[in-house]
């Protein structure tokens, strides 16, 4: 019985992954509003009722898609879940992620930016998800700058929380500028220049 149960669970995981993959593709191509549950289910080889069974609602599926996109980004950059990177490692991750986005993930970046704008108001479907994601990013950045100050690789007279908010604001703003005008904005160069400048500012004073 254990073997049968395990096989059923594996099939369920595989079906869920297929639905997320189908939604990722269609959302990136058509946007969330332009993509119905039926189209996603058809792409995944499932029924609309099966999709709702797995995710509860279309909003639940959107959250799963966003979480999967974040997971794939960390996997692509070889970032362990419990990583405590150095400043150089973290800054390199951001630059490499920008390079990947600029060369093959524009639709997904646009989807993320659009959904953020559509969920600014408290009470909207994904407001809490985006708010909490932003808080988590700033917390990781604050910890990064705090560690760097403690081990002497960064100045100790700068506020880690302020630096974290500034860096998060740069990341959001850079992607928006690039999405609006990719012919004028080089996303990778913009990231590389910002993080080189930030590294210089953080360098301990002699």
The residues spanned by each domain of the chain are 1-76, 79-206
Q: How far apart are CA 121 and CA 101, in angstroms?
A: 27
Q: What's 156's DSSP letter?
A: S
Most confident region among 27-36, 111-120, 193-202 by mean pLDDT? 193-202
pLDDT category of residue 206 using cuts at 50, 70 and 90:
low
Topology match between the domains 1-76 and 79-206? yes
Both structure tokens of 174: 């850079």
Q: Class of 1-76 per CATH? A: mainly alpha
- Please enumerate in sequence order all residues whose Cβ is within 8 A of that of 190, keeping only pairs 6 or more positions apart, or say none: 98, 174, 177, 178
Check whether domain 79-206 has CATH 1.10.357, yes or no: yes
Under DSSP, the state recorded for 34 is T
Query: Tokens 């990013």 map to which residue?
Result: 137
Instruction: Write out the two tokens for 64.
Output: 């799963």
Mean pLDDT of the chain: 89
- Measure the CA angle with vertex 150, ends 145 and 155; round to 5°: 65
Of 134, 128, 145, the residue nearest 168 (C-alpha):
134
Give the pLDDT score at 164: 97
């Amino acid at each position: 019985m254990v073997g049968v149960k395990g096989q059923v669970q594996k099939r369920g995981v595989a079906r869920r992954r297929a639905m997320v993959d189908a939604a990722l593709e269609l959302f990136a191509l058509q946007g969330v509003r332009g993509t119905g549950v039926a189209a996603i289910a058809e792409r995944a080889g499932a029924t609309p009722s099966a999709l709702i069974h797995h995710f509860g609602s279309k909003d639940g599926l959107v959250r799963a898609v966003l979480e999967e996109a974040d997971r794939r980004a960390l996997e692509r950059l070889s970032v362990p879940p419990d990583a405590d990177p150095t400043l150089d490692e973290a800054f390199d991750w951001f630059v490499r992620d920008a390079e990947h986005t600029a060369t093959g993930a524009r639709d997904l970046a646009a989807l993320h930016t659009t959904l953020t704008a559509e969920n600014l108001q408290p009470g909207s479907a994904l407001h809490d998800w985006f708010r909490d994601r932003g808080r988590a990013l700033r917390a990781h950045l604050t910890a990064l700058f705090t560690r760097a100050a403690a081990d002497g690789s960064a100045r100790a007279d700068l506020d880690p929380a302020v630096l974290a908010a500034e860096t998060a604001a740069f990341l959001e703003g850079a992607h928006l500028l690039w999405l609006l005008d990719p012919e004028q904005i080089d996303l990778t160069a913009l990231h590389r220049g910002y993080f080189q400048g930030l590294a210089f500012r953080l360098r301990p004073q002699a």
